[in-house]
Amino acid sequence: MVSRVIPVDPFDLVIFGGTGDLARRKILPGLFRRFCAGQMPPEACVVGAARADMDTDGYRAFVGEAIAEFGGDIANDTENLGAFLQRMSYVSIDARGEKGWIELAGLMRESMVRAFYFSVAPGLFGDLAERLNQHGLTDADSRIVVEKPFGRDLATAKELNRDLAAYFDEGQIYRIDHYLGKETVQNLMAVRFGNMLFEPLWNSQYVDHIQITVAETVGVGGRGEYYDKSGAMRDMVQNHLMQLLCLIAMEPPSKFDPDAVRDEKLKVIRALDAVEPHHIVRGQYEAGEEGPSFREEVNDPRSRTESYIAMKIGVSNWRWAGTPFYLRTGKRLKARCSEIHVVFKELNHSIFGEQEDHRNVLSIRLQPNEGMTLGVTIKEPGPGGMRLVDVPLDMSFADALGADGADQTDAYERLIMDVIRGNQTLFMRGDEVEAAWAWTDPIINGWHTRGDVPKTYDSGSEGPVDAVQLLARDTRVWRKVSS
Ligand code: NAD
């Protein structure tokens, strides 16, 4: 099956922070992939805008190098690369001063979709919004894309929302959470709301519990200074894991429309219970073969920031009351994987007599190898009576749909094309972000008030042993962390 690529409308995209790490690793290679796929129209233009003194030729060389390093298999497509680089220009700009703005205004064309990607520190969001307005670079149809972290608590998130709202309507603001751009995450909505099979069972009557795991093998590395002020709760749970929880828990929206979807997600966040301290396990990795300890990497022997967190969360509504959501995320773990497991209840009566625990599990894998598996119970083949065994009913998109089924379009490029199309479904709305911080703040404040110290865990392990006990207390076990 050949996937259809529908070109977006011609656009001018300005990447503030166009020389930064995110632009180099994700945004620029992603745009090039869309160009090669025929989705970025030949008339589209991209302007890198950053502090570095550079001219357009210098920037084209910079973009070429970024694609060579991070473009993967498309890096060798020299013919397309030449044409793509012709679409690039560069302006040396100061978000807080006057430098570069008039030059930037001169590059903007009429009758094009205009998008401004704020790939800079959040402290500059307000300045950029103000300057864009002051220089008349935006109109009611212009869009801005903002990166995480969107605040570090409710107060700062509100401040950012206020700064942006001074110049842009909510319908123009695209808050990126790249987890929402993953193919499997969108497929989760298709599976839930496009089939009769799952939705009737998708509630506390049939679902025993849900596990969401985002495990990384890397430590904080060079991001120590930033990470020590953030921690796993702010860096991962408040945004990525919360978004995944919302997609699993939300009610069916009346239609697949940005605000209908986001309204339902918001209701989930508002229905989250406050989390009891004994339902949270925080951890810090020890030194190991993989590298120094967390405290060494953040250069603070007394740091109380968590590089790991596991928690049990209740959702107080009719659908989910009584079905816990267990979330965990951490660095320097055994394997890199992001997975959701919907674990169904045991049969209330087995006609096959005494058997081991058999239950259905729907596993949704975001990375690596995106796909879904439904664990079903069948008869173990061969003679020897009616012995039951669990086997995966593999919904491998690649097998079913051919090579295109395993579409590896990166989340960033998918989301940038959504910005150009003006589709906000996969972006966080301001009230969602604030609601998520309103839930997160008391948890973090509680740690500080009580002086909680994270447990330690071995590098390359599955996390602190206390996390195992968190589920064991409920007679449950975590799924294995494996790649
Ligand atoms: P970076 O430090 O590598 O790059 C920062 C960019 O901002 C540079 O291009 C710099 O020239 C520009 N800049 C700084 N001050 C400026 C000013 N006064 N005027 C104009 N331009 C200015 O940062 P990054 O890693 O690319 O991250 C950018 C944003 O994306 C941050 O908010 C970060 O939190 C977020 N983010 C990054 C990643 C990542 O993987 N790097 C992932 C998720 C989110």
- When pLDDT is averaged across residues 330-346 and rounded to a whole number, the result is 96
Of the residues 129, 147, 165, which one is the last residue of a structural domain? 147
Residue 371 lies in a domain: yes
% of the chain residues with pLDDT over 90:
81
The runs of H, that is alpha helices, within 391-451 are 397-401, 411-421, 430-450
- Among 96, 131, 147, the domain boundary falls at 147
Domain for residue 156, yes or no? no
Q: Kindly state whether residues 137 and 192 are assigned to the same domain.
A: no
In a domain, 307, yes or no: yes
pLDDT for residue 257 is more than 80: yes
Query: Same domain for 203 and 130?
Result: no
Cα–Cα dist 298/288, whole Å: 16
Residue 379, pLDDT score: 86
Whole-model pTM: value is 0.94
**Do residues 209 and 304 both lie within one domain?**
yes
Condensed to tens digits (0 to 9), the pLDDT of residues 92-151 reads 999 999 999 999 999 999 989 999 999 999 999 999 999 999 999 999 999 999 998 999
Token representation of residue 33: 């992939």
More confident residue, 284 or 409: 284
Across 10-14, 190-194, 398-402, 404-408, the highest mean pLDDT is recorded for 10-14
Angular region, 34: left φ>0, alpha ψ -120 to 50, beta rest: alpha
Please tell me whether residues 114 and 233 are part of one structural domain: no
Per-residue pLDDT, averaged over 224-249, amounts to 96
Mean pLDDT of 44-64: 98
- Residue 402 pLDDT class (50, 70, 90 cuts): low
The predicted pLDDT at position 363 comes to 93
Domain match, 134 and 275 both:
no
Burial pattern 285-322, b for ≥16 Cβ within 10 A else e, equals bbbeeebbbbbebbeeeebbbbbbbbbbbbbebebbee
Q: Is the pLDDT of residue 284 over 70?
A: yes
Where in 38-102 does DSSP place strands (E)?
45-50, 88-92
Owning domain of residue 349: 180-405+430-472
Q: How many CB atoms lie within 10 A of CB 94?
A: 15
Question: Residue 73 Cα, ligand 1 centroid: separation in angstroms?
Answer: 26
Distance CA 482, CA 368 (A): 10
Ligand 1 binding pocket includes 210 (Cβ within 6 Å): no
Same domain, 112 and 238: no
Tell which residue, 280, 308, 274, has the closest CA to residue 294.
308
Residue 173 in any domain: the answer is: no
Q: Is residue 139 in a domain?
A: yes
Find the mean pLDDT for residues 325-339. Answer: 97
Instruction: Kindly indicate the confidence band of residue 168, based on its pLDDT and cuts at 50, 70 and 90.
Output: very high
> Ligand 1 pocket test: which of 93, 120, 156 has the largest number of ligand atoms within 8 Å of its C-beta?
120
Which range (276-285, 313-322, 343-352, 465-474) has the least confidence?
Answer: 343-352
- The CATH number for 16's domain is 3.40.50.720
**Does ligand 1 come within 6 angstroms of the Cβ of 120?**
yes
Measured CA to CA, the distance from residue 386 to residue 17 in angstroms comes to: 63
| Domain final residue pick, 106, 124, 147 | 147
Q: What are phi and psi of 321, to 5 degrees?
A: -55, 125
Q: How confident is the model at residue 377 (pLDDT cuts 50, 70, 90)?
A: confident
Q: Within a domain: residue 107?
A: yes
Would you state the pLDDT for residue 180?
Answer: 92
**CB of residue 51 inside a 6 A radius of ligand 1:** yes
The phi and psi torsions of 393 (rounded to 5 degrees) equal -90, 100
Mean pLDDT across the chain: 93
Confidence of residue 2 (pLDDT cuts 50, 70, 90): low
Question: Both 249 and 396 in a single domain?
Answer: yes
Residue 97 and residue 232 in one domain: no
Estimate to the nearest angstrom the gap between the alpha carbon of 214 and the chain centroid. Answer: 10
333 and 453, same structural domain?
A: yes
In ligand 1, which atom is closest to the CA atom of 178?
Answer: 43
Q: Is 122 in the pocket of ligand 1 (CB under 6 A)?
A: yes
122 shares a domain with 243: no
Same domain, 219 and 363: yes
At residue 285, the pLDDT reads: 98
Q: Please say if the pLDDT value at position 406 is more than 60.
A: no
Please tell me the total count of domains within the chain.
Answer: 2
Query: Would you say residue 46 has pLDDT above 70?
Result: yes
- 411 located within any domain: no
> Which of 237-241, 317-321, 404-408 is predicted least confidently?
404-408
Asked if residue 214 and residue 109 are part of one domain, the reply reads: no
pLDDT band at 266 (very low <50, low <70, confident <90, very high): very high
Q: Does any domain span residue 2?
A: no
Identify the CATH number of the domain in which residue 450 sits. 3.30.360.10
